[in-house]
Structure 1
Amino acid sequence: MLKLELRPASSRWMAYFSPLLALLLTVFFGVLLFLILGKNPLTGLQVFLLEPLRSQTAITELLLKTTPLVLCALGLSVCYRANVWNIGAEGQLIAGGLAAGATVLAFDHPGAALSGAAVLVLATIAGVAGGACWASITAWLRDRFHANEILVSLMLTYIAQLLLMYAVNGPLKDPDGMNFPQSKVFSSEFLLPHLFHSRLHIGFVVMLIAAAGMTVFIYRSFAGYRLTVGGLAPLAARYAGFSSRKALWLSLLISGGLAGMAGAFEVTGPIGQVLPSISPGYGFAAIIVAFIGRLNPVGAIFGGMVLSLFYLGGEMAQSRLGLPSAMTGLFQGMLLFMLLACDTLIHYRLRWKQ
């Protein structure tokens, strides 16, 4: 019978080559998918993978979608390094966006005490705090009652979505919005400054700074070292006196805060108001981004660009080729499956054992 056995030694560069191989396999099976759907595969790949890169406007849209993906993935990378399986970045993003939107609306009226940049900074801080507070629920339940953080963080995502629906149908609802479930559109002074005369905003620069900061934290700080050791070797970490409780709280608060910042940037950036749907699933897609990037902050940037390309390509395939909107999720799922398969075959080998 065939049996999986651990390889005696798997080179490190092969582990980093795995995402590229997974992407190539995804493109290959994407060709088969276009053939099954009765579409010209060359046209399909051109629309899905090349059209989003053909102009400056298209590239800025790509970077716009990359920003929330990378911010969420940075926090998730910290969690997964610490062996804390946070699946609720989507809910933390929603909580952060809701907190940031409520903050802007509190000052978006004549005679407010603060205006302009001060409110944007305050809204961003509120978003970070909102996401961190939402993640702290998972940390507390895991710490106090040993609840499974996978289930808790995932279920909290749906609670966050229901809370958002309540807010846009209740306290944050625009009284002049013809009964639509949404807040009023923010004044222009409460929107993030744009870059390159496009929809890309200054949050992209903040994301790059956050990636640099997380690189230093993970690879050059003692706190990051403690988290990594705790994830790779829990017994060694316990012997060294590293607190697993601190690792749990620190990793989840960082992850929730960065996801909340992503939500704040969405609300005060391309959306410009609070809507029933703040995110098309960035928090879930960021899980794939984190693993494509090998839990490395710099790698997360490239992973975020790949997933952003899938988002834009899926939208173009829907409008130009008449394909279903599920194409984006299908390509994301294929990429994750191929990545897991490549990782397995790199670290394990199939042997015939009688």
Structure 2
Amino acid sequence: MAAWLRTRFNANEILTSIMLNYIALNLLLYFVHGPLKDPAGMNFPESATFGDASRLPLLMEDGRAHIGVYFALLALVAVWVLLQRSFVGFQIKVLGLDKRAAGFVGFREKRLVWLALLISGALAGLAGVSEVTGPIGQLVPQVSPGYGYAAITVAFLGRLNPIGILFSSLLIALLYLGGESAQMTLNLPLAITQLFQGMMLFFLLACDVLILYRPRLKLHWAKRQMTAVTGAA
């Protein structure tokens, strides 16, 4: 849907993806309140617990990490190879940097947009399946505490590079854990985590503006001082 809106109406994929989140959330609410609702769940909006054969095994018995971590690492390597070692990846990067330049050299914009967003959607679906079939073990309305929004911050912190995203995702994961710990020990609201994420993204974008555009402040007192110095000379 985001790819169609991008190629048909030139709608920004970030904005359309955020708005489509609400549609996906309402679909999830429909299923957990209706067709997939657990009859033995004491009227709670959740599906039946998945069987052991349908769940991803844990890496450690006393932890929550599961083999979905390996899926993420494999996806990271695959995307790095695609972007750095293939002509299709080169086309995607050129299109992202300058759409006009990509058109001048004959790259097919719509095909590349569809390819990039389909790959992104597949990876997001893989992450969602890994989350549901991991420690959660069932469909519930609060499957994600905002991972999709955090992914935007992760991508910008990682400078849109798969290797950088690996380290920025670890940073955001520590931020989530720290927010949960602060909520339990200091009675702080969990929204403090989102506040820190927003601050990091804001300062990062501000630095990009200063680096790319280099705004120059013309101060009148500096001009007068320069005039006085040249006049004295």
Whether TM-score is above 0.5 comes out as yes
Q: Deviations over 1:5-42 (max 9, x none)?
A: xxxxxxxxxxxxxxxxxxxxxxxxxxxxxxxxxxxxxx
* Counterpart residue number, 1:344: 209
For 2:28, give the aligned amino acid: L
Q: Which has the larger radius of gyration?
A: 2
* Counterpart residue number, 2:24: 160
Shift of 1:343: 2.2
How far apart, in 1, do the equivalents of 2:99 and 2:22 lie? 31
For 1:144, give the aligned amino acid: R
Give the TM-score normalised by the residue count of structure 1: 0.59
Kindly report which structure 2 residues correspond to 1:242-321, keeping only aligned pairs within 5 A, or say none.
242-321=107-186
How far apart, in 1, do the equivalents of 2:16 and 2:42 lie? 37
* Counterpart residue number, 1:226: 91
How far apart, in 2, do the equivalents of 1:343 and 1:149 lie? 20
Shift of 1:209: 1.1
Residues 1:342 and 1:352: Cα distance change in structure 2 (over 3 Å) = closer
* Counterpart residue number, 2:230: none
Shift of 1:346: 2.8
For 1:321, give the aligned amino acid: L
- Unaligned residue ranges in structure 2 (runs of 5+): 221-233
For 1:306, give the aligned amino acid: L
How far apart, in 2, do the equivalents of 1:293 and 1:342 lie? 14
What fraction of aligned residue pairs are identical, expressed as a percent?
57
How far apart, in 1, do the equivalents of 2:214 and 2:7 lie? 38
1:195 aligns with 2:59: yes
Residues 1:148 and 1:206: Cα distance change in structure 2 (over 3 Å) = closer
* Counterpart residue number, 2:80: 215
For 2:33, give the aligned amino acid: N
How far apart, in 2, do the equivalents of 1:149 and 1:347 lie? 23
How far apart, in 1, do the equivalents of 2:2 and 2:217 lie? 44
Larger relative contact order, structure 1 or 2 (CA cutoff 8 Å, min sep 6):
1
Q: Deviations over 1:198-226 (max 9, x none)?
A: 32111101111111111110011000000
* Counterpart residue number, 2:44: 180
How far apart, in 1, do the equivalents of 2:70 and 2:211 lie? 35
What is the aligned length? 218
For 1:162, give the aligned amino acid: N
Residues 1:278 and 1:349: Cα distance change in structure 2 (over 3 Å) = same
Q: Deviations over 1:18-73 (max 9, x none)?
A: xxxxxxxxxxxxxxxxxxxxxxxxxxxxxxxxxxxxxxxxxxxxxxxxxxxxxxxx
How far apart, in 2, do the equivalents of 1:225 and 1:144 lie? 23
Give the TM-score normalised by the residue count of structure 2: 0.89
For 1:194, give the aligned amino acid: L
Q: Deviations over 1:248-296 (max 9, x none)?
A: 1011101111011000001100210000111000011000101111111
Q: Deviations over 1:70-104 (max 9, x none)?
A: xxxxxxxxxxxxxxxxxxxxxxxxxxxxxxxxxxx
For 1:315, give the aligned amino acid: E
Residues 1:324 and 1:277: Cα distance change in structure 2 (over 3 Å) = same
- Unaligned residue ranges in structure 1 (runs of 5+): 1-136
For 2:148, give the aligned amino acid: G
Aligned CA RMSD, in angstroms, stands at: 1.5
How far apart, in 1, do the equivalents of 2:103 and 2:142 lie? 42
Shift of 1:148: 4.2
